[in-house]
């Protein structure tokens, strides 16, 4: 099982920028915690961060055939990027959206997520812990998909033997 974590613009500045909103934890520290959880659960994890919309779209598309799930924080692109939304929709890979802050408690323009509608779920306002919740949620989603595939294969085998 492989999960790709995609981080949007300015998240490379965590721990430095607007600590009153995003907290003191650096992105590398969040990734280290996620890696530890992934290792405990025998899941491969890969991290990607870009400030460029096209690079994020490219990375989402590269997940086809390479990843089982995506955890994404599109950051500011959440509210503006139809391209990222369309890429998530196109790849048909379970995706969870994460935001450190509660976007509904912030400026009006941040209240609308263009990407949420094509994601399996959205975790907001939990700070760095939101990424842990996303890992737990993604493992549950992937385990359910695996169980459904196994049940379908068993049904098909039963029908073939009948």
**Percent of the chain residues past pLDDT 70, beyond the cut:** 97
Q: Which residues are annotated as catalytic?
A: 22, 99
Which CATH number is 39's domain given?
A: 3.40.50.9100
Give me the pLDDT at residue 162, please: 74
* CB-count exposure of residue 97 (10 Å: 0-12, 13-18, 19+): buried
Q: Are 48 and 4 in contact (CB under 8 A)?
A: yes
Residue-range definition of the domain harbouring residue 14? 2-161
pLDDT tens readout for residues 12-24: 998 887 777 777 7
pLDDT tens readout for residues 98-111: 999 778 767 776 76
Residues 86-106, mean pLDDT to the nearest whole number: 91
Q: Are 98 and 73 in contact (CB under 8 A)?
A: yes
Residues 133-162, mean pLDDT to the nearest whole number: 92
Residues 119-138, mean pLDDT to the nearest whole number: 96
CA dist., res. 110 & res. 103, Å (int)? 6
Give me the pLDDT at residue 125, please: 93
Question: Based on the structure, what is the number of domains in the chain?
Answer: 1
Round the average pLDDT of the chain to a whole number and report it: 93
pLDDT band at residue 11, thresholds of 50, 70 and 90?
A: very high
């Amino acid at each position: 099982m492989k999960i790709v974590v995609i981080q949007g613009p300015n998240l490379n500045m965590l721990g430095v920028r607007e600590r009153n909103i995003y907290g003191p934890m650096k992105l590398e520290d969040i990734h280290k915690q996620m890696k530890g959880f992934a290792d405990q659960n025998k899941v491969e994890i890969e991290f990607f961060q870009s400030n460029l919309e096209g690079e994020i779209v490219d990375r989402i598309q590269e997940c086809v055939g390479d990843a089982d799930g995506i955890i994404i924080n599109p950051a500011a692109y959440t509210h503006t990027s139809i391209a990222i939304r369309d890429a998530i929709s196109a790849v048909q890979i379970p995706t969870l959206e994460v935001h450190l802050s509660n976007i509904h408690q912030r400026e009006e323009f941040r209240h609308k997520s263009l990407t949420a509608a094509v994601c399996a779920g959205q975790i907001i306002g939990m700070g760095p812990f939101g990424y842990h919740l996303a890992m737990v949620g993604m493992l549950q989603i992937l385990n359910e998909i695996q169980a459904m595939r196994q049940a379908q294969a068993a049904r098909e085998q039963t029908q073939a033997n009948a």
